[in-house]
Amino acid sequence: GAVVSQHPSRVICKSGTSVKIECRSLDFQATTMFWYRQFPKQSLMLMATSNEGSKATYEQGVEKDKFLINHASLTLSTLTVTSAHPEDSSFYICSASGTGNTIYFGEGSWLTVV
Amino acid sequence: GENVEQHPSTLSVQEGDSAVIKCTYSDSASNYFPWYKQELGKRPQLIIDIRSNVGEKKDQRIAVTLNKTAKHFSLHITETQPEDSAVYFCAASITNTDKLIFGTGTRLQVFP
């Protein structure tokens, strides 16, 4: 079945630095991908819709200059957390629609900012 | 925009009993309502979904009901087992390929 892969699964970075998370659709093309953030013991909150070849659509309250999204190909979307702060520490997870019009989630990426 | 509320936030049941989780949504344009089970630190796993043209759907011990007029849908798990223990999320979407708006989650504990 369709698979969505995220990398890295875990990352630790220092405050003030930037970190990139990749989301790949392995056996299908995804013109649209979605990025979610999940704080411990909370729900998945939609951050943005990643559109191949065009600008991402951000949800209200999500800073587009802090969370840079690039969807340069039909199989890859990247989320870059810029100038990371400890409060950005969270579980970030992407999703994409694959064959059979089914939503597939990546494995998620744990970000810890120290 | 869409807003999804979910109740209860925690639910404890005895093995073999039934569990019911309820969600309400606000956007009448939503037509797709999936339910996910999530283990700690892992991706959500789709357990059942329902579309707005259907009022009820069942898959073995799991069933989902939808009342589109009242804008609420429910997850029913019968004959619960300890391995059913997890966090469950409802979600709503315009289509089954669109962005998902998740409920707040329910932590289900099934005691042997």
CB of B103 within 8 Å of any CB in chain A? yes
Report the residue from A34, A106, A108 with minimal CB separation from B99: A34
CB of A10 within 8 Å of any CB in chain B? no
Instruction: Kindly tell me if the per-residue pLDDT of B2 is higher than 70.
Output: yes
Instruction: Kindly tell me if the per-residue pLDDT of A53 is higher than 90.
Output: no
pLDDT value, residue A55: 92
Instruction: Kindly tell me if the per-residue pLDDT of B53 is higher than 90.
Output: no
pLDDT tens string A60-100? 999 999 999 999 899 999 999 999 999 999 999 999 987 66
Counting one residue from chain A and one from chain B, the pairs whose CB atoms sit within 8 A come to 47
Query: What is the average per-residue pLDDT within A29-52?
Result: 94
Cβ of B103 within 8 Å of Cβ of A110? The answer is: no
pLDDT value, residue A27: 87
Cβ of B1 within 8 Å of Cβ of A60? The answer is: yes
Query: What is the average per-residue pLDDT within A47-67?
Result: 94
* Cβ partners under 8 Å of residue B55, min gap 6: B65, B66, B67
CB of B105 within 8 Å of any CB in chain A? yes
CB of A42 within 8 Å of any CB in chain B? yes
pLDDT value, residue A2: 64
Query: Whose CA is closest to B108, among B4, B6, B8?
Result: B8
Residue numbers in B near A89 (CB within 8 A):
none
* Percent of chain B scoring above 90 in pLDDT: 89
* Cβ partners under 8 Å of residue B93, min gap 6: B30, B31, B32, B33, B34, B99, B100, B101
Please count the other Cβ atoms lying within 10 Å of the Cβ belonging to residue A112: 14
CB of B88 within 8 Å of any CB in chain A? no
Mean pLDDT of the residues in chain B:
95
pLDDT value, residue B5: 97
Q: Are strands B86-92 and B106-111 parallel, antiparallel or unpaired?
A: antiparallel
Q: Give me the phi and psi of B102, to 5 degrees please.
A: -95, 150
